[in-house]
Amino acid sequence: MLKSLSSLSRLALAGLCLALVAGCSSTAGKVDPTAGWSAERLYSQARADMGSNNWSEARKHLEALEARYPFGVYAQQSLIDQAYINWKDEEPEQAKAAIDRFMQQYPNHPGTDYMLYLKGMITFTPPSAVLSNITRQDPSERDPKGLRESYEAFNELIKRYPDSRYTPDARKRAAWLVNTIAENEVHIAQYYYERGAYVAAANRAQTVVTDFEGAPIAEKALYLMMISYEKLALPELAADAKRVLDRNFPDSKYYQQGLHAPLNYWNPINWF
């Protein structure tokens, strides 16, 4: 009797072991169905996923490719595509991380110009910008950090790869960014002025005049300098700012309207 029970115990234990092995195999299959795939197969599947805008699946296959086959052409292309996928999937931090890894590992790669262009695009149109169509928020009123990062990337592309096919578009975007960053500086200067920080307002406005030569917003910056110096009882500096303003912007509109543009009542956002 005891011998029979011992035999049954051994059979039960063996069955349990087999069940655990089978369960582990099943779990492993669910976690990683691409086990054993070649670099070429992983990349091919990732491209197919990209073609159908299945960004999450494409990302998984490319990350697996980079982890398993860190050297070679497919690994290089994997980083390029990861940056693109994360940008399209509105994951800017992951996209920038992929670009930074690429630039560190392959500083002289032929695709560097594209990666610089993509780096500029990532912060040129952040996801939050979509709401500006509804709120009518001026891009210059947003946090300028992303705008500056975008400008720096485009500017590096322009300097390092003047003949790149991406450079003409980068030049247009960089010009827009210069104006937008200058406008942001004027917004800050006006903020200081309206709170009585006239020295800070004058200094900020002067930065726009000196660092962003030719930007249209320089007109408002000069006006801000003039009225800030008037508040500080510095007539000579105020007169200098007025002279430059009159020479560059005769009959400036700011003499009539002041710092605030007339309200557009046809804009629904102003109905509330």
Structural domain boundaries in the chain: 38-109
pLDDT-derived band at 7, boundaries 50, 70, 90: low
User: What fold does the segment set 38-109 form as a domain?
Assistant: 1.25.40
Specify the higher pLDDT residue, 255 or 132. 255
Percent of the chain exceeding pLDDT 70 equals: 78
Using the predicted structure, report yes or no on whether residue 215 has a pLDDT greater than 70: yes
Quick check: pTM over 0.85? no
What would the mean pLDDT of 164-176 be, rounded to a whole number? 95
3-state secondary structure the chain: CHHHHHHHHHHHHHHHHHHHHHHHHHHHHHHCCCCCCCHHHHHHHHHHHHHCCCHHHHHHHHHHHHHHCCCCHHHHHHHHHHHHHHHHCCCHHHHHHHHHHHHHHCCCCCCHHHHHHHHHHHHHCCHHHHHHHHHCCCHHHCCHHHHHHHHHHHHHHHHHCCCCCCHHHHHHHHHHHHHHHHHHHHHHHHHHHHCCCHHHHHHHHHHHHHHCCCCCCHHHHHHHHHHHHHHCCCHHHHHHHHHHHHHHCCCCCHHHHCCCCCCCCCCHHHHC
pLDDT of residue 33: 83
